[in-house]
């Protein structure tokens, strides 16, 4: 274990209530769980974690304020539809040269979450500064590789700034088309899990959501793509309705779920189809100013506007790219 990282388990945080002094067990069973709120955690995020709705959490916890305000340490009883891995409280001691982005990526969280958990720490921290991290990935998620394939060491002449890519795990929220092409940075993997869970709750969509290509297990060229080299890209098929047509209302809900956390840099969709997406956003009640910031249409394809932008060939899937990490100079 690197000397600059100290792992400390916070007992009783999230997962199935396993009793005092024992971490919750991972598993696929569902039922009543007890969730301990971490600093600045939102009610919607908690609901998504367990596959339930915000209203269900409120009904089970009448003491919670209707506006969803929560305090750190508050305990909620939730009738979960899925059981996530137990959450661990980690203390990361900053090493020389590390940045907020690099540390967030290492633990599969967003920079915003990391800053919220450590509001007393200045932006320009020093080596030796302890940072609190709440990590709810399965311990094996950061170390697993394709079965039968040894992990690749990138300590000498790394091709892509010593990428640390992990596999996208299976989930009730989506289907992974091909696991050997579904590796991403821990931050990307966490973002897919968060956004797809949020999408299921907000959209009510019950069809299949297919996750296509991310990156190869160690980055580099992934045919036939020009991108998909660094674990920051994912292709997701457009949701389909019962008649086999594109469900644009569900597609907008999927886009909205990804862009709400401010991790996404671009989403590619051919320009003519953006009109359908914009109409769905309008039906969802999106403010015109917000829609203009989210979708390029009706501006021309070559204009520098919107997160959703034109790129030829994106007619049946969304190409979602999250922001690069400051520690990976060649990511762009």
Asked if residue 332 belongs to a domain, the reply is no
My answer on whether 131 and 196 are in the same domain is no
Q: Taking residues 147-152, what's their average pLDDT?
A: 32
List 26's β-bridge partners, or say none: none
Can you say how many angstroms the Cα of residue 8 is from the centroid of all Cα atoms in its chain?
A: 23
Residue 153 has pLDDT above 80, yes or no: no
Q: Which of 114, 136, 158 marks a domain boundary?
A: 136
Asked if residue 68 belongs to a domain, the reply is yes
My answer on whether 131 and 185 are in the same domain is no
Band (pLDDT 50/70/90 cuts) for residue 192 is very high
Domain count, the chain: 2
| Most confident by average pLDDT, 90-94, 115-119, 153-157, 199-203 | 199-203
My answer on whether 279 and 170 are in the same domain is yes
pLDDT: which is higher, 298 or 163: 298
My answer on whether 170 and 258 are in the same domain is yes
At 89 the pLDDT is: 76
My answer on whether 313 and 177 are in the same domain is yes
Asked if residue 29 belongs to a domain, the reply is yes
My answer on whether 249 and 116 are in the same domain is no
**DSSP line for 224-235:** T-SS--SS-EEE
Cβ proximity of 203 and 175 under 8 Å? no
Asked if residue 260 belongs to a domain, the reply is yes
At 22 the pLDDT is: 28
d(CA 1, CA 132): 17
**DSSP line for 142-206:** GT--STT-PPPP-SSS-TTSS---EEPPPBTTBEES-GGG-EE-HHHHHHHHHHHHHHHHHH---
d(CA 237, CA 292): 23
Average pLDDT of the chain to the nearest whole number: 79
Closest by CA position to 231, among listed 164, 287, 290 = 164
Q: Taking residues 177-197, what's their average pLDDT?
A: 90
Asked if residue 290 belongs to a domain, the reply is yes
At 4 the pLDDT is: 42
Q: Taking residues 17-39, what's their average pLDDT?
A: 54
At 328 the pLDDT is: 61
Q: Which of 120, 136, 152 marks a domain boundary?
A: 136
Angle at 284 between CA 280 and CA 290, to 5 degrees: 90
Residue 321 has pLDDT above 90, yes or no: yes
My answer on whether 131 and 216 are in the same domain is no
At 174 the pLDDT is: 94
My answer on whether 20 and 115 are in the same domain is yes
CB neighbours (10 Å) of residue 286? Answer: 17
At 332 the pLDDT is: 56
d(CA 96, CA 273): 47
Cβ within 8 Å of residue 143, ≥6 positions away: 151, 166
CB-based burial, 48-65: b 16+ in 10 Å, e otherwise = bbbbbbbebbbeebeebe
At 154 the pLDDT is: 25
Asked if residue 22 belongs to a domain, the reply is yes
Residue position matching structure tokens 């160690």: 218
pLDDT: which is higher, 144 or 40: 40
Band (pLDDT 50/70/90 cuts) for residue 163 is low
My answer on whether 125 and 28 are in the same domain is yes
pLDDT: which is higher, 166 or 278: 278
Asked if residue 145 belongs to a domain, the reply is no
My answer on whether 108 and 232 are in the same domain is no
Residue 18 has pLDDT above 80, yes or no: no
My answer on whether 2 and 105 are in the same domain is yes
Closest by CA position to 114, among listed 135, 95, 96, 97 = 135
Asked if residue 156 belongs to a domain, the reply is no
Domain of residue 26: give its range: 1-136
The CATH number of whichever domain residue 256 belongs to comes to 3.30.1380.10
Q: Taking residues 292-303, what's their average pLDDT?
A: 92
Q: Taking residues 323-328, what's their average pLDDT?
A: 69
Band (pLDDT 50/70/90 cuts) for residue 90 is confident
Cβ proximity of 202 and 254 under 8 Å? no
Q: Taking residues 54-81, what's their average pLDDT?
A: 88
Band (pLDDT 50/70/90 cuts) for residue 85 is confident
Q: Is 158 exposed, middle or buried, given 0-12, 13-18 or 19+ CB atoms closer than 10 A?
A: middle
Q: Which of 117, 136, 155 marks a domain boundary?
A: 136
My answer on whether 66 and 5 are in the same domain is yes
Q: Determine the number of helices (DSSP H) and then strands (DSSP E) in the chain.
A: 8, 13
* Residue pLDDT, tens place only, 104-130: 888 888 888 888 888 888 888 888 788
At 137 the pLDDT is: 65
Residue 196 has pLDDT above 60, yes or no: yes
pLDDT: which is higher, 157 or 66: 66
Residue 234 has pLDDT above 90, yes or no: yes
């Amino acid at each position: 274990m690197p000397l600059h990282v100290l792992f400390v388990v916070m007992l009783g945080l999230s997962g199935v209530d396993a009793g005092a002094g024992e971490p919750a067990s991972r598993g696929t069973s569902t039922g009543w769980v007890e969730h301990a709120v971490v600093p600045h955690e939102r009610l919607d995020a908690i609901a998504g974690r367990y596959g339930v709705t915000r209203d269900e959490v409120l009904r089970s916890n009448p003491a919670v304020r209707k506006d969803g305000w929560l305090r750190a340490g508050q305990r909620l009883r939730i009738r979960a539809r899925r059981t996530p891995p137990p959450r661990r409280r980690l203390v990361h001691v900053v090493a020389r040269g590390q940045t907020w982005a690099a540390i967030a990526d290492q633990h599969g969280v967003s920079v915003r979450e990391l800053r919220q958990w450590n509001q007393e720490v200045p932006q320009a921290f020093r080596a030796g500064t302890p940072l609190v991290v709440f990590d709810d990935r399965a311990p094996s998620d950061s170390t697993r590789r394709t079965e039968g394939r040894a992990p690749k060491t990138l300590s000498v002449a790394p091709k892509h700034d010593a990428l640390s890519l992990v596999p996208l795990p299976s989930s009730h929220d989506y289907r992974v088309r091909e696991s050997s092409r579904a590796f991403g940075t821990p931050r990307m993997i966490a973002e897919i899990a968060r956004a797809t869970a949020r999408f299921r709750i907000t959209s009510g969509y019950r069809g299949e959501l297919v996750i296509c290509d991310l990156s190869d297990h160690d980055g580099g060229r992934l045919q036939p793509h020009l991108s998909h080299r660094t674990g920051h890209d994912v292709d997701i098929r457009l949701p389909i309705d019962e008649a086999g047509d594109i469900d644009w209302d569900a597609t907008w809900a999927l886009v909205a779920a990804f862009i709400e956390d401010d991790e996404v840099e671009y989403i590619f969709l051919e320009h003519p189809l953006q009109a359908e997406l914009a109409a769905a956003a309008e039906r969802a009640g999106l403010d015109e100013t917000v829609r203009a910031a989210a979708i390029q249409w009706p501006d021309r394809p070559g204009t520098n506007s919107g997160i959703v932008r034109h790129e030829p060939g994106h007619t049946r899937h969304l190409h979602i790219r999250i922001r690069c990490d400051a520690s990976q100079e060649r990511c762009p």
